[in-house]
Structure 1
Amino acid sequence: MLLKRLEQWDHSFFCRLFSRSTSRQMFISSYWLSKTADGPLYLVLAVLLVCFEVLAATDFSLLLLAAFAIELPLYLTLKNSIKRARPADTLTAFICAHITPSDRFSLPSGHTAGAFVVATAVALYFPLFLPLALLWAVSIGMSRIMLGVHFPLDVIAGAVLGTSSCLVAHSLFN
C-alpha cells in the first residue's frame, strides 16, 4: 500500500513538472543543462584544475576517480536489477519524452548520480563553491525530469547514490 502511494506521488509529481516543459526555451535549457552532466566534461574539469595547479586539484581529481569507480558499478547494477520503466514507457497516454534516453531503464538517474558525485567532491575540497555546485546538481536532476526521461524518485535515488559514493570514496582516502 505504501509503495503504491509512493508510486502515485512519483507519477503525479512527474506529470506536474513535465507539463511545464512544453516550451521550446524550457526544452533547450534542459537539454543543454543535462549535457553538462555527461561524463567527458568531468574529465575536462579535473584536467583543467590540475593544469592550472589549483590547490588540492590532484586530491580532488583522485577523489572523483575513486567515487566514480564506486558509483558506476552500483548504478549499472541497480539500473539492471530494478528495471524500472521510464516515464514515456509507463505513462504512454500522457507523455512523450523530449529526448531518447541512452538506455532502457529509469532508476536511478545516472546524470544526477554523476552530478552529485561532483557536487559532493566540490563540497569537500572547495566548500566556497558548494552553493553553486549544489544548484547545478539539483538542476541536472530537474532537467532529466523536464526532458521526460526520469521520475522524481529516480532523481532522488541518483542524488543519494552519487553523494554516498563520493563520501565512501573520501572515507577510504582518509
Structure 2
Amino acid sequence: MSSFDLENLGVQRINPIVRFDLAFSLFCLEHRFASQVGLFSRAVSHSGDGHLYAAIALIAWVADSTIGSLFLACGLISFVIELPIYWVAKNSFRRRRPHDLSSRLTNFIEPSDKYSMPSGHTAAATIMAVLTCAFFPSLAVIAVVWASLIALSRILLGVHFFSDIVAGVMLGLASSFIAMAMVGV
C-alpha cells in the first residue's frame, strides 16, 4: 500500500472500486522510479494521440485496397460511435483525474480535457486493435500489446484510474463491434 493515507481523501466508506482505483493509482505514481516510468509512458501514450491512426489506415489501404477500404470504413464508423459517447460520459461523470488528488503526484502530461472517465486514448487504441485483429490477424499480437501499453501508460501518467481504462476498453470494443456489424464484417 502507498505511503499516501487514503483517509486524508475522505474515502473511509467509499465504494470498493473507487477505493481500489485510488490505491492502485497511488501505488503506480508514488514509487522512486515514477519519473523514469513517466518518460517512457509519455512516449507510449503519444503514439495513441490519433496521428498514427490515419497512417495505419493509409498503410492498410495501400497494402490491400479492398481490405483497407473496409478497415477504413469500420474505423470511421467506430469513431463516429465512440466520440459522442466518450464526450457525454466525460461530461456526465466529471471524475477528477488521479494527479488532481495530491500535490505530491507528478503531472507527467497535460491532458486534453478536465475529466478522466472514460479513457479516450484507451477506447481509440482498443478500436484500432480490434480492427487490426479482424482485418490483419497476423498483426493481432502487436496490436493488442500496443493498445494495452497505451492503456497502462494512461495510469502511469496519472491521468486515468484503472476503472477509466476498463470503461475505455468497453467503449472501444462496443464501438468497433457495432461498426463491423454495420459494414457486414
* Normalised TM-score (structure 1): 0.91
Please give the residue correspondences for 1:1-174 in structure 2 after superposition, counting only pairs within 5 Å.
4-20=15-31, 22-53=33-64, 56-89=67-100, 91-174=101-184
Q: Is the 8 A contact 1:21 1:146 kept in 2?
A: no
Write the letter of the residue equivalent to 1:96. Answer: T
Q: 1:114 to 1:20 in 2, by over 3 A?
A: farther
Q: Is the 8 A contact 1:98 1:147 kept in 2?
A: yes
Q: Deviations over 1:120-174 (max 9, x none)?
A: 1011111222111111111101101111111111111111101110001111111
Partners of 1:40 and 1:98 lie apart in 2 by 20
Partners of 1:84 and 1:24 lie apart in 2 by 24
Q: 1:51 to 1:82 in 2, by over 3 A?
A: same
Partners of 1:67 and 1:12 lie apart in 2 by 33
Equivalent residue for 2:5? none
Partners of 2:127 and 2:119 lie apart in 1 by 12
Q: Is the 8 A contact 2:29 2:106 kept in 1?
A: no
Q: CA deviation at 1:60?
A: 0.7
SS of the residue corresponding to residue 108 of structure 1 reads coil
Q: 1:85 to 1:167 in 2, by over 3 A?
A: same
Moved over 6 A (4+): none
Range with greater deviation from structure 2 (114-123 or 46-55)? 46-55
Q: Deviations over 1:67-121 (max 9, x none)?
A: 01101111101111111111122x2254232111111000000100100000010
* Identity rate, percent: 35
* Normalised TM-score (structure 2): 0.86
Write the letter of the residue equivalent to 1:102. Answer: S
Runs of 5+ consecutive residues of structure 2 not aligned to the other structure: 1-11
Write the letter of the residue equivalent to 1:124. Answer: A
User: Which structure: greater helix fraction?
Assistant: 1
How many equivalent residue pairs? 173
Write the letter of the residue equivalent to 1:7. Answer: V
Q: 1:52 to 1:127 in 2, by over 3 A?
A: closer
Partners of 2:119 and 2:47 lie apart in 1 by 14
Write the letter of the residue equivalent to 2:80. Answer: A
Q: 1:164 to 1:151 in 2, by over 3 A?
A: same
Partners of 1:14 and 1:130 lie apart in 2 by 29
